[in-house]
Structure 1
Amino acid sequence: MGVSFKGEEQNIQDILSSRDERVQIQQYFLKKYKSPLISYKLNIPGPVKYNSFIKKIFDDGLLAAKNELAKASIEIIDEKLLYKNSGPEYFASFKDTPSFIKEITTKIEETHPLGRLFDFDVLDLEGNQLSRQEIGREPRKCLLCGRNAFECGRSRKHSVDELLDHIEKIALTYFNRGSI
């Protein structure tokens, strides 16, 4: 593994605390704005969830999402951006249907060169997360073997180092394109 994933390691308590905070922010947005919500973070395995390299990946996904949402004339009601050691996160309430927003974010996940690292959750007015299958899409594929990502993750088919090496390679290739 290269230097791209060095940083302050997070333990299980840090991750659980971050998850609790995420749910509280989601509930706040849903209650206050009574609108669908995007909750965006990254799929980065291992104990390091934030450093300048991870921030760069995250920011690129956020820019892609904002550009696509603007193209679709989706109005942002309110948003919150957090950069923290447990991983960067973005929350935004929107004026549109959850399924349309999920279509846009899923397209980004499927077509952006780093899209497999992006994790855009879309919540409806009741706080239910829309699945890819609800909009007629296949489950996410594993970064390494192309099988169902959930099954590979659950069975620990690939080591964290294998995954991070692959992530580093695709991200460095993406960020270095055009600097030849």
Structure 2
Amino acid sequence: MNVHFQGQEQSLQDILKCRDMRVQYQQCLLEKYQNIVICYKLNIPGAVKYNFLIKKIFDEGLQVFKDKLDRNSLVILEEKSIYKNSGPEYFGAFNIPAYLMKKITTNIEDTHALGRLYDFDVLSGKGEQISRQELGKEPRKCLLCESNAFECGRARRHQVGELIAKIESMAKEYFR
């Protein structure tokens, strides 16, 4: 594996614990604001979820997102970024229609050079996740082939090393 993907490996228990903490924080924001909540993270395969390259990719996506918010004059009610070994995360609460926010985030995921790595979850004020399909969008495609990403991942059609090599290639191309 390339030097860019070295870092502290995370166990399944580490990942599940962080997912539970993420859900708890989302619930706190939903209760506090009763408005939409965004959770942004990355789609990174394998056991290493945080290192310099991953942080750089994450920060780029966060900046693109914030630039879109500024261009659309959208106000952030509350936000928080967390950088940890289980992967960087951003949380934000907003007072705008959930479908408008999902359009903004899926546009970033679909058009940015690194967008396939970005994962923006949009929760309505009632805590319901807004899906791409609700906007008439296709499911996300695999990094390596044109198949449905979820199905590819579940079937483990590709080696983690192949996926990481693709991510490194994408990042190298983008940041050069």
Name the TM-score, length of structure 2 as normaliser: 0.99
Q: Matches of residues 8-157 of structure 1 in structure 2 within 5 Å?
A: 8-157=8-157
CA separation in 2, counterparts of 1:151 and 1:76? 34
SS at match of 1:140: coil
CA distance, structure 2, for counterparts of residue 37 and residue 72 of structure 1: 17
1:146 offset after TM fit, Å?
1.4
**Equivalent pairs, count:** 176
Q: Distance in 2 between matches of 1:22 and 1:135?
A: 25
Give the secondary structure class of the aligned counterpart of 2:129: coil
Q: CA deviation at 1:65?
A: 0.4
Whole-Å separation in 2 of the counterparts to 1:11 and 1:25: 21
Residue 90 of structure 1 aligns with an amino acid whose one-letter code is Y
Per-residue CA distance 1:38-79 (angstroms, 9 max, x = gap): 100000000000011100000000000000111111110000
What residue in structure 1 maps to residue 173 of structure 2?
Answer: 173
Of stretches 94-103 and 66-75 in structure 1, the one that deviates more from structure 2 is 66-75
Whole-Å Cα distance in 1 between the matches of residues 37 and 73 of structure 2? 16
Gaps of at least 5 residues in structure 2 are none
Unaligned runs of 5+ in 1: none
Q: CA RMSD in A?
A: 0.6
Distance 2:37 2:142 in 1: 26
Q: TM-score, normalised by structure 1?
A: 0.97
SS of the residue 2:122 aligns to: strand
Letter in 2 for 1:67: D
Offset at residue 102 of structure 1 (A) = 0.2
Separation (CA, whole Å) in 2 of partners of 1:70 and 1:93 = 15
Paired with 2:41 and 2:130, the residues of 1 have a C-alpha distance of 16
Q: Match of 2:173, SS?
A: helix
Identity score, percent: 60
Q: Give the counterpart letter for 1:79 in structure 2.
A: E
One-letter amino acid matched to 2:130 = L
